[in-house]
Structure formats: C-alpha cells, structure tokens
Amino acid sequence: MNYKLSPSDFTFLYEGCKRCYYLKVVHNISQPSIPLPSIFSTIADLLKNHYDDKHTKELYPELPPGRVVYSERYVKSEPIQLAGHNATCFISGRFDIVVEFDDNTYGVIDFKTGNPNEEHQTLYSRQLHAYAYALEHPAPGSLGLSPVSKMGLLYFHPSKTSQSTIDWLSYDAKINWIETNKDEQGFLDFIEEVLSVLESDRAPDPSPDCQWCNYISKLESYSRVVE
C-alpha cells in the first residue's frame, strides 16, 4: 500500500482519535463533515490576497528579508519508504503561503485566526513539516522548493473595532508570529508512528473522547436492545 497522508489530518484527527484516522486513510470512511461558517474562508482568502507578493517586513518584522511567492498551492511528495515497514506513504495537501527569502531559501507559513495556543503548536508543527517535506522531496511534476529554512504560524486575533462611516465597520487584529523549529528526522519518526497504525490488521480502539465513536457505540447498543 502507498497511503495518501493529508497534512491537515495530522492535527486534530490523528491526535483526537486514531481509530477515525485509520478508517479514513485505510478504508476511506470519514467522520461526518461539519461545514465551517463561510466567514472563515472569506478571512483566509482576504489574507492570502492581501499578502500576495508582499515583502516579509509586511508579514512580520522578525522574518528575514524576502517576498511571498506562492499562495495556496497543492504539494505532493515522493513516496516515503521507512525501514521495517512494508507500506509506503506520500504527503498531499495545500499550504497557505510560501516565502522566498533573499538568501534563496524558503519559508512555509500557515495563517490562523485566534490566539496562539501552546497545546496546538505541536500538532500544527506536524502540518508545517509535512508541507516542507513535500516541497523538498516533491513527486515528479509537483512543486519543489528547497531548502525550507523557516516554518511558522501567523496568528490574527481581532482586538478592536473602528468605524469610519455609518455603514462600514472594521476589525483590527493583533498579529503574532509563532516559529516552528525544523526537525525532519523528528517528522519522519512521527510518520513511522503513523505507518505503524495504518499497517495494523484492525482499527485501533476508539478514543474515549471521540464523540463520533461514542455516537456509533450508542447506536450499536440501542440496535442490540431493540433486536
């Protein structure tokens, strides 16, 4: 098997319930999707359009000099083969923006709306590493950029409002840059853990906190009672 791994699934799906992750990747059975309010997509599109081709000093002053060169592009890695595993996998997903620095290296940046959350930084680090790995080890015909020297999250947290006219209200947002230290070997160790889960003959036990698995369990219990 050559499993397709989505960077976005490395965050809350994998950490939240490995059974649900296994069922999605191995059997293409996904949790029911909950549509996000369209306002979040609108904000994301506005940010990407605003920063397109901007200098890094307009993103965040601590970033090295450079310019935004790619926005919302799909990436796909070559197959990842790890010792001790029969299955392979590949990364396939879409990043927010990529910066090209003046020293001819690249930076992968994801936009987040809200306050920085330390508990989530490890999860988002996996996502950023996945994009970086796919860019540095691209599949034939896919976008390749190397080396990736910086990765991080750019948080936008609405902090106040201003109103210039009776029919025009603006939100001001505080910007925070949270950098992720690059550790490709650490990322590959995580991928090895993921492959160990996927290569199992049976799905892992459900997470006690997984609402979807708990719902299915209650349905099964109810069906047995009815029968």
How many C-beta atoms lie closer than 10 Å to residue 12's C-beta?
12
pTM as predicted: 0.91
Calculate the average pLDDT of the chain: 92
Residue partners of 155: CB distance under 8 A and separation at least 6: 112, 113, 114, 115, 116, 175, 176, 177, 178
Find the CATH number of the domain harbouring 190: 3.90.320
Closest CA to 48 of 132, 105, 109: 109
Instruction: Say yes or no to pLDDT of 36 above 80.
Output: no
Instruction: Say yes or no to pLDDT of 44 above 80.
Output: yes
**Domain count across the chain:** 1
Q: Where are the alpha helices (DSSP H) in the chain?
A: 12-16, 18-27, 38-51, 118-136, 184-198, 211-226
With beta carbons less than 8 A apart as the criterion, state whether 178 and 152 touch: yes
Tens-digit pLDDT profile for residues 138-176: 999 999 999 999 999 999 988 899 888 988 888 889 999
Residue partners of 132: CB distance under 8 A and separation at least 6: 108, 148, 151, 182, 184
How would you classify the pairing of strands 106-113 and 148-165?
parallel
Which is more confidently placed, 225 or 184?
184
Residue 214 domain boundaries: 2-226
Q: Tell whether omega for the bond before 147 is within 30 degrees of 0, i.e. cis.
A: yes
Tens-digit pLDDT profile for residues 194-216: 999 999 999 999 999 999 999 88
Q: 165: helix, coil or strand?
A: strand
